[in-house]
Amino acid sequence: MIDRYIETIEDHILISDATPLISNLNMKENIALIREVHHKTPRLEAESEAQKALEKISLGRIGSKRQNECSKLEIFYVMLVRALFSDPKTVVIKRPFSLVDSLLVIDRIIDNTALLNREKAIIILDTKTNYSRYKDCKCNITK
**Using one digit for the tens of pLDDT, what is the confidence trace for 51-62?**
999 999 999 999
Q: How far is CA 123 from CA 95, 96, 118, in A?
A: 11, 11, 14
Tell me how far apart the alpha carbons of residues 46 and 64 are, in angstroms, rounded to a whole number.
14
Domains and their CATH numbers in the chain: 2-134 (3.40.50.300)
Nearest of 81, 99, 101, 100 to residue 91 by alpha carbon: 81
Predicted local distance difference test score (pLDDT) of residue 131? 60
- Say yes or no to pLDDT of 38 above 60: yes
Q: Which residue has the higher pLDDT, 124 or 50?
A: 50
Predicted local distance difference test score (pLDDT) of residue 7? 87
pTM over 0.85? The answer is yes
The gap from C-alpha 93 to its chain's centroid, in whole angstroms, comes to 7
- Say yes or no to pLDDT of 96 above 90: no
